[in-house]
Amino acid sequence: MSCPRCGSTDIAISGTETLTFKCKKCGYSWTIDRRNYAIVNTPSGPVHWTVYTYYKELALQDAIDMIMSNKDVDTIIEELKKNYSNYLSEDDIRKIVEKARKIVKYL
């Protein structure tokens, strides 16, 4: 997501019925109808993309924590499946663990 006017990706989100985005760089704001916007299919049904992204971020943070405490990959995948399988597919979870391992390498 980037500002349609200046291209900045530093964007604030607000609003309930419609989502309002505001560019923090140039101040431009625009709205989209929340009901029609970017629904993601998950194992427990369609959810708004912000929900999906939220769970992906949480799962990534959990994966990083578990890698830091030296849990093995299979254990991490099992733990994440237990906590996030309503929203994330096994494929998503494997990708998240891969990403977490790369992040930890550079910490």
Applying CB under 5 A, the residues found at the interface with Zn ion are 3, 5-6, 8, 23, 25-26, 28
Residue 21 CA to residue 11 CA, distance in Å, equals: 6
Q: Say if CB 56 and CB 86 are below 8 A apart.
A: no
Q: Which is closer to Zn ion, CB of 5 or CB of 35?
A: 5
Q: Which is closer to Zn ion, CB of 30 or CB of 34?
A: 30
Q: Say if CB 3 and CB 25 are below 8 A apart.
A: yes
3-state SS assignment for residue 57: helix
Q: How far is the CB of 32 from Zn ion (least distance, A)?
A: 16
| Interaxial angle between packed helices 49-68 and 90-105, expressed in degrees from 0 to 180 and rounded to the nearest 10 | 50
Q: How far is the CB of 1 from Zn ion (least distance, A)?
A: 11
Q: Which is closer to Zn ion, CB of 25 or CB of 101?
A: 25
Residue 58 CA to residue 75 CA, distance in Å, equals: 17
Q: How far is the CB of 29 from Zn ion (least distance, A)?
A: 9
Q: Which is closer to Zn ion, CB of 32 or CB of 68?
A: 32
Q: How far is the CB of 21 from Zn ion (least distance, A)?
A: 10
